[in-house]
Amino acid sequence: MSLTVDQQKQAAARAAIDYIENDWVVGVGTGSTANHFIDALATIKDRIDGAVASSEASAQRLKAHGIRVFELTAVGELPIYVDGADEINANLQMIKGGGAALTREKIVAQCADKFICIADESKLVRVLGQFPLPVEVIPMARSLVGRAMVKLGGHPAWREDCVTDNGNWIIDVHGLTIDEPIKLETAINQIPGVVTNGIFALRPADVLLLGKTSGVEVFKNPASAR
Ligand SMILES: O=C(CO)[C@H](O)[C@H](O)COP(=O)(O)O
Protein backbone atom coordinates (compact mmCIF):
# COMPACT_ATOMS: atom_id res chain seq x y z
CA MET A 1 0.00 0.00 0.00
CA SER A 2 1.34 3.43 -0.92
CA LEU A 3 -1.21 6.20 -0.51
CA THR A 4 -1.20 9.30 -2.71
CA VAL A 5 -1.44 12.71 -1.02
CA ASP A 6 -5.19 12.86 -1.58
CA GLN A 7 -5.61 9.31 -0.27
CA GLN A 8 -3.59 10.32 2.82
CA LYS A 9 -5.99 13.22 3.43
CA GLN A 10 -8.98 10.93 2.96
CA ALA A 11 -7.56 8.24 5.26
CA ALA A 12 -6.90 10.81 8.01
CA ALA A 13 -10.39 12.26 7.57
CA ARG A 14 -12.03 8.84 7.78
CA ALA A 15 -10.01 7.98 10.90
CA ALA A 16 -11.48 11.05 12.62
CA ILE A 17 -14.96 9.49 12.42
CA ASP A 18 -13.93 7.06 15.20
CA TYR A 19 -13.80 10.04 17.60
CA ILE A 20 -17.41 11.14 16.95
CA GLU A 21 -20.00 10.04 19.51
CA ASN A 22 -23.76 9.74 19.06
CA ASP A 23 -25.90 12.90 19.23
CA TRP A 24 -22.93 15.26 19.00
CA VAL A 25 -22.81 18.57 17.16
CA VAL A 26 -19.47 18.43 15.35
CA GLY A 27 -17.22 21.42 14.63
CA VAL A 28 -16.05 21.21 11.04
CA GLY A 29 -13.07 22.91 9.39
CA THR A 30 -12.35 24.07 5.87
CA GLY A 31 -10.24 22.84 2.94
CA SER A 32 -9.69 19.70 0.90
CA THR A 33 -8.98 17.47 3.93
CA ALA A 34 -11.96 18.87 5.80
CA ASN A 35 -14.05 18.18 2.68
CA HIS A 36 -13.08 14.51 2.95
CA PHE A 37 -14.14 14.65 6.58
CA ILE A 38 -17.53 16.15 5.65
CA ASP A 39 -18.04 13.36 3.11
CA ALA A 40 -17.16 10.78 5.78
CA LEU A 41 -19.45 12.51 8.29
CA ALA A 42 -22.32 12.05 5.83
CA THR A 43 -22.03 8.28 6.32
CA ILE A 44 -22.90 8.69 10.02
CA LYS A 45 -25.29 11.64 9.70
CA ASP A 46 -28.17 9.70 11.27
CA ARG A 47 -26.37 9.32 14.58
CA ILE A 48 -25.17 12.93 15.01
CA ASP A 49 -27.24 16.05 15.71
CA GLY A 50 -25.44 18.18 13.15
CA ALA A 51 -22.44 20.44 12.65
CA VAL A 52 -21.05 23.93 13.09
CA ALA A 53 -19.08 25.08 10.03
CA SER A 54 -15.97 27.26 9.98
CA SER A 55 -16.77 28.68 6.52
CA GLU A 56 -19.60 29.26 4.09
CA ALA A 57 -18.04 26.65 1.76
CA SER A 58 -18.08 23.95 4.43
CA ALA A 59 -21.62 24.91 5.45
CA GLN A 60 -22.76 24.45 1.84
CA ARG A 61 -21.06 21.04 1.59
CA LEU A 62 -22.58 19.89 4.87
CA LYS A 63 -26.05 21.00 3.80
CA ALA A 64 -25.66 19.30 0.41
CA HIS A 65 -25.13 16.05 2.33
CA GLY A 66 -28.27 16.67 4.38
CA ILE A 67 -26.32 17.40 7.57
CA ARG A 68 -27.97 20.04 9.78
CA VAL A 69 -25.80 23.16 10.20
CA PHE A 70 -26.09 25.16 13.42
CA GLU A 71 -24.91 28.71 14.13
CA LEU A 72 -22.14 28.65 16.72
CA THR A 73 -24.13 31.06 18.86
CA ALA A 74 -26.98 28.55 19.03
CA VAL A 75 -24.71 25.80 20.31
CA GLY A 76 -22.09 27.48 22.48
CA GLU A 77 -19.63 24.73 23.30
CA LEU A 78 -18.71 21.80 21.09
CA PRO A 79 -17.34 18.37 22.04
CA ILE A 80 -15.00 18.24 19.04
CA TYR A 81 -13.51 20.23 16.17
CA VAL A 82 -11.95 18.52 13.15
CA ASP A 83 -9.86 20.47 10.65
CA GLY A 84 -6.81 20.35 8.38
CA ALA A 85 -3.63 22.42 8.58
CA ASP A 86 -1.08 23.98 6.28
CA GLU A 87 1.76 23.08 8.66
CA ILE A 88 1.90 21.32 12.03
CA ASN A 89 4.82 20.76 14.39
CA ALA A 90 5.59 18.17 17.07
CA ASN A 91 3.72 20.23 19.69
CA LEU A 92 0.67 20.13 17.41
CA GLN A 93 0.89 23.88 16.87
CA MET A 94 -0.17 24.84 13.38
CA ILE A 95 -0.23 27.35 10.58
CA LYS A 96 -3.72 27.54 9.10
CA GLY A 97 -5.58 29.84 6.74
CA GLY A 98 -4.43 28.70 3.32
CA GLY A 99 -8.14 28.63 2.51
CA ALA A 100 -8.68 32.07 4.12
CA ALA A 101 -10.99 30.67 6.84
CA LEU A 102 -8.54 31.15 9.71
CA THR A 103 -10.65 33.48 11.87
CA ARG A 104 -13.78 31.35 11.92
CA GLU A 105 -11.60 28.24 12.29
CA LYS A 106 -9.92 29.75 15.35
CA ILE A 107 -13.27 30.75 16.84
CA VAL A 108 -14.85 27.32 16.37
CA ALA A 109 -11.68 25.54 17.58
CA GLN A 110 -11.70 27.69 20.72
CA CYS A 111 -15.22 26.48 21.54
CA ALA A 112 -14.29 22.81 21.21
CA ASP A 113 -13.31 20.46 23.99
CA LYS A 114 -11.10 18.45 21.64
CA PHE A 115 -9.32 19.59 18.44
CA ILE A 116 -8.41 16.86 15.98
CA CYS A 117 -6.11 17.87 13.13
CA ILE A 118 -6.29 15.75 9.99
CA ALA A 119 -3.46 16.12 7.50
CA ASP A 120 -1.29 14.45 4.91
CA GLU A 121 2.33 13.81 5.83
CA SER A 122 3.70 16.81 3.90
CA LYS A 123 2.18 19.06 6.59
CA LEU A 124 4.37 17.82 9.46
CA VAL A 125 7.35 20.17 9.91
CA ARG A 126 10.07 20.76 12.48
CA VAL A 127 9.71 24.56 12.53
CA LEU A 128 6.64 26.49 11.36
CA GLY A 129 7.03 29.21 8.74
CA GLN A 130 7.91 27.64 5.42
CA PHE A 131 4.23 28.06 4.51
CA PRO A 132 3.46 31.81 4.23
CA LEU A 133 1.60 32.92 7.36
CA PRO A 134 -1.92 34.17 6.57
CA VAL A 135 -3.07 37.24 8.49
CA GLU A 136 -6.69 38.45 8.20
CA VAL A 137 -6.86 42.24 8.23
CA ILE A 138 -9.52 44.94 8.18
CA PRO A 139 -9.04 46.34 4.64
CA MET A 140 -8.03 49.91 5.67
CA ALA A 141 -5.23 48.48 7.85
CA ARG A 142 -3.53 46.52 5.05
CA SER A 143 -0.50 48.82 4.68
CA LEU A 144 -0.12 49.39 8.42
CA VAL A 145 -0.12 45.65 9.07
CA GLY A 146 2.23 45.04 6.14
CA ARG A 147 4.79 47.49 7.56
CA ALA A 148 4.49 45.89 10.98
CA MET A 149 5.13 42.46 9.48
CA VAL A 150 8.31 43.76 7.82
CA LYS A 151 9.51 44.95 11.25
CA LEU A 152 8.90 41.40 12.51
CA GLY A 153 11.20 40.08 9.76
CA GLY A 154 8.57 38.94 7.26
CA HIS A 155 7.82 39.68 3.61
CA PRO A 156 4.11 40.45 3.31
CA ALA A 157 2.12 39.80 0.13
CA TRP A 158 -1.51 40.87 -0.28
CA ARG A 159 -3.74 37.99 -1.47
CA GLU A 160 -5.42 40.30 -3.99
CA ASP A 161 -8.13 37.96 -5.26
CA CYS A 162 -9.42 37.06 -1.80
CA VAL A 163 -12.18 38.48 0.40
CA THR A 164 -12.85 36.41 3.54
CA ASP A 165 -16.29 35.26 4.71
CA ASN A 166 -16.03 38.17 7.15
CA GLY A 167 -15.48 40.75 4.37
CA ASN A 168 -11.79 41.25 5.18
CA TRP A 169 -8.49 40.80 3.35
CA ILE A 170 -5.58 38.38 3.74
CA ILE A 171 -1.87 39.20 3.89
CA ASP A 172 0.44 36.20 3.40
CA VAL A 173 3.71 36.70 5.26
CA HIS A 174 6.70 34.93 3.73
CA GLY A 175 10.11 34.32 5.22
CA LEU A 176 9.24 33.86 8.90
CA THR A 177 11.01 31.27 11.03
CA ILE A 178 8.51 30.69 13.81
CA ASP A 179 10.64 29.41 16.71
CA GLU A 180 8.26 30.76 19.35
CA PRO A 181 4.75 30.27 17.97
CA ILE A 182 2.83 31.47 21.04
CA LYS A 183 4.91 34.65 21.25
CA LEU A 184 4.47 35.49 17.57
CA GLU A 185 0.77 34.60 17.51
CA THR A 186 0.24 36.98 20.44
CA ALA A 187 2.42 39.77 19.01
CA ILE A 188 0.75 39.83 15.60
CA ASN A 189 -2.69 39.87 17.15
CA GLN A 190 -1.75 43.10 18.99
CA ILE A 191 -1.35 45.06 15.73
CA PRO A 192 -4.38 47.32 15.15
CA GLY A 193 -6.38 46.09 12.17
CA VAL A 194 -5.37 42.45 12.55
CA VAL A 195 -8.44 40.26 12.99
CA THR A 196 -6.32 37.21 13.69
CA ASN A 197 -3.30 35.38 12.30
CA GLY A 198 -2.93 31.80 11.14
CA ILE A 199 -0.69 30.59 13.98
CA PHE A 200 -2.69 28.16 16.11
CA ALA A 201 -0.37 27.81 19.13
CA LEU A 202 -2.36 29.27 22.03
CA ARG A 203 -4.93 26.61 21.17
CA PRO A 204 -3.01 23.75 19.49
CA ALA A 205 -4.54 20.46 18.34
CA ASP A 206 -5.05 17.70 20.90
CA VAL A 207 -4.66 14.87 18.39
CA LEU A 208 -3.04 14.70 14.96
CA LEU A 209 -4.22 12.03 12.54
CA LEU A 210 -1.45 12.04 9.96
CA GLY A 211 -2.10 10.30 6.68
CA LYS A 212 1.14 8.74 5.44
CA THR A 213 1.98 6.63 2.40
CA SER A 214 1.66 3.58 4.67
CA GLY A 215 -1.55 4.58 6.50
CA VAL A 216 -2.63 6.81 9.38
CA GLU A 217 -0.41 7.55 12.36
CA VAL A 218 -1.90 9.00 15.55
CA PHE A 219 -0.02 11.69 17.51
CA LYS A 220 -1.31 12.91 20.88
CA ASN A 221 -0.39 16.31 22.24
CA PRO A 222 1.71 15.53 25.35
CA ALA A 223 0.64 18.84 26.91
CA SER A 224 -3.04 18.12 26.45
CA ALA A 225 -5.27 16.44 29.01
CA ARG A 226 -7.93 15.73 26.39
O1 LIG B 1 -6.63 26.39 7.23
C2 LIG B 1 -7.25 25.93 6.29
C3 LIG B 1 -8.24 26.73 5.54
O4 LIG B 1 -8.27 28.06 5.96
C5 LIG B 1 -7.01 24.53 5.88
O6 LIG B 1 -7.17 23.69 6.98
C7 LIG B 1 -5.62 24.39 5.34
O8 LIG B 1 -5.42 25.33 4.32
C9 LIG B 1 -5.34 22.98 4.82
O10 LIG B 1 -6.01 22.79 3.63
P11 LIG B 1 -6.01 21.40 2.87
O12 LIG B 1 -6.75 20.43 3.75
O13 LIG B 1 -6.76 21.69 1.59
O14 LIG B 1 -4.59 20.99 2.63
Residue ranges around ligand 1 (CB below 6 Å): 29-34, 83-86, 96-102, 105
Query: What are the binding residues for substrate?
Result: 30-33, 83-86, 96-99, 123
Number of H helices, E strands in the chain: 7, 13
Query: What are the binding residues?
Result: 30-33, 83-86, 96-99, 123
Tens-digit pLDDT string for the chain (226 aa): 799 999 999 999 999 999 999 999 999 999 999 999 999 999 999 999 999 999 999 999 999 999 999 999 999 999 999 999 999 999 999 999 999 999 999 999 999 999 999 999 999 999 999 999 999 999 999 999 999 999 999 999 999 999 999 999 999 999 999 999 999 999 999 999 999 999 999 999 999 999 999 999 999 998 987 7
Instruction: Determine the distance separating the centroid of ligand 1 and the alpha carbon of 30, expressed in angstroms.
Output: 6
Predicted TM-score (pTM) above 0.90: yes
Q: Which of 100, 99, 118, 102 is nearest to 206 (CA)?
A: 118
Fold of 5-125+202-220: Rossmann fold (3.40.50)
Q: Which of 88, 11, 26 is nearest to 59 (CA)?
A: 26
Confirm whether 5-125+202-220 and 133-198 share one CATH topology. no
Ligand 1 atom closest to the CA of 100, numbered from 1: 4
The residues spanned by each domain of the chain are 5-125+202-220, 133-198
Q: What are the backbone angles phi and psi of residue 134, rounded to the nearest 5°?
A: -75, 140
- Output the CA torsion sign for 93, 98, 103, 106: negative
CATH number for the region 133-198 comes to 3.30.70.260
Marked catalytic residue, from 105, 121, 160, 217: 105
